[in-house]
Structure 1
């Protein structure tokens, strides 16, 4: 649904986004992560057809959004980080006015507004938007992003101003959209939220995509890039454990170190099943074996540090 090819945006000759190649399929919930200044916002604005790339292309469902931005907006819903509305109108009146820019008839527009306001828990609210809390404003923005029944939805920091109940409802809405076959791109700094709803992740740093895939695939790639290694920690009361492990020939074993209560093995990948089989019957006394690897939060922090 979303495809970029060598997408590049330069400001004063310096690339903010640098030859970005990205594909997000139908029904995919894609979490887009990166430090401030990494190129997330610029990428989103190009995908939304709001700024033109310096070079390269971006298509949504086959529509080149730079060449045909109006067609792109017909199939795209976009919730910016700071959404603005007419303060002197109610939520319904804002959606009714803005909905007239879409090619839908009056009855359909009215029905959608009623359904969406109920979905984001704003039905029956008659106060002007200027009196809304930030969370209510955010929920109205989500309703606006879905007003044209888009095939693709971009959500920029969607939970930033929501209370716990609002976050739970947001998650439910994202799952409903995914089940309906919508493609969703979520840009957020809240890793727990991204992990809770996204099927795939992408990490951008210095304008380039440095990792993409499932949470585990992204963790594996960032571990590889950071030159850190995961460790298998074995706790044992058997003093022969170190000697036995040292005799095992496995190219994925990088280093073996004694600890006060066992052994730590630096490895390229998780080899616990094979290791357990090697040790079974010949090295009793093992009380615990687990994989110690950096989590996404720690690895993402390393990306931030590299960016700085």
Structure 2
């Protein structure tokens, strides 16, 4: 579904991303870990088509994610750390507006079903998002990804600021969209979330993918050790 081959990005003399390569199949989760400045944000911006790579290629279901960025965005959902929806709109009104922007056909029934599938109970559908927690706003955004039939969901620090209960609910929601065959790329500092969710864990440092763990079976302590070992090397 997602293929990244030898991506490179320079900012003046700073080699921000160096020969980055990985792949992600439908229904899989890749968590990218790394300290600030590791190259994670630049990687995401290249995948979203906001930043042009200096060399290399990223494709989504065969489409060039830079040269065909508009077509790719129609098949993607980006959910930033702080979900920017309309606080004066209800959950259903936000879904309706997003559907109009994305030219996605929806019905009241399909929107309600998507919200309930991500854990937003019907009693909240007509409430304004200004009263929602970060976790609840995320659920609305993920529900729209379901309606949109997004092939790839990209998330930036989704568990930042969530309490343990909300984090567990987030993990359950991501497992729900995995079952639909959606590929999920998560940029995070949350080792627990990565350990619980990921089919693959990538550890980035100084623009390079230092380690890529497939189907990780490491304990949280072992993952923590692997993570910090990359910065001591």
Q: TM-score, normalised by structure 1?
A: 0.67
The verdict on how the C-alpha distance between 1:55 and 1:93 changes in structure 2, with shifts beyond 3 A counting, is same
User: Is 1:297 aligned to residue 209 of structure 2?
Assistant: no
Q: State the distance in 2 between where 1:191 and 1:83 align.
A: 21
> 2:112 aligns to what?
114
User: Is 1:205 aligned to residue 205 of structure 2?
Assistant: yes
5+ residue gaps in structure 1? 220-293
Indicate conservation of the 8 Å contact 2:195/2:216, yes or no.
Answer: no
Q: State the distance in 1 between where 2:33 and 2:215 align.
A: 12
Indicate conservation of the 8 Å contact 1:30/1:199, yes or no.
Answer: yes
5+ residue gaps in structure 2? none
User: Is 1:87 aligned to residue 87 of structure 2?
Assistant: yes
Q: State the distance in 2 between where 1:178 and 1:206 align.
A: 30
1:205-232 Cα deviation digits (max 9, x unpaired):
111111112365999xxxxxxxxxxxxx
Q: TM-score, normalised by structure 2?
A: 0.87
> 1:17 aligns to what?
17
Q: Which has the larger radius of gyration?
A: 1
Deviation at 1:51, TM superposition (A): 2.4
Mean Cα deviation higher: 138-147 or 195-204: 138-147
Cα RMSD of the aligned pairs, angstroms, is 2.4
Indicate conservation of the 8 Å contact 1:138/1:161, yes or no.
Answer: no
SS at match of 2:94: helix
1:96-175 aligned within 5 A: 96-107=96-107, 110-118=108-116, 119-125=118-124, 126-175=126-175
Indicate conservation of the 8 Å contact 1:34/1:304, yes or no.
Answer: no
Q: State the distance in 1 between where 2:59 and 2:231 align.
A: 29
Q: State the distance in 2 between where 1:97 and 1:205 align.
A: 39
1:256-304 Cα deviation digits (max 9, x unpaired):
xxxxxxxxxxxxxxxxxxxxxxxxxxxxxxxxxxxxxx71102212334
The verdict on how the C-alpha distance between 1:4 and 1:127 changes in structure 2, with shifts beyond 3 A counting, is same
Deviation at 1:63, TM superposition (A): 0.7
User: Is 1:44 aligned to residue 44 of structure 2?
Assistant: yes
Indicate conservation of the 8 Å contact 1:211/1:218, yes or no.
Answer: no
Q: State the distance in 2 between where 1:145 and 1:161 align.
A: 22
Q: State the distance in 2 between where 1:92 and 1:305 align.
A: 48
Matched length: 230
Q: State the distance in 2 between where 1:93 and 1:133 align.
A: 17
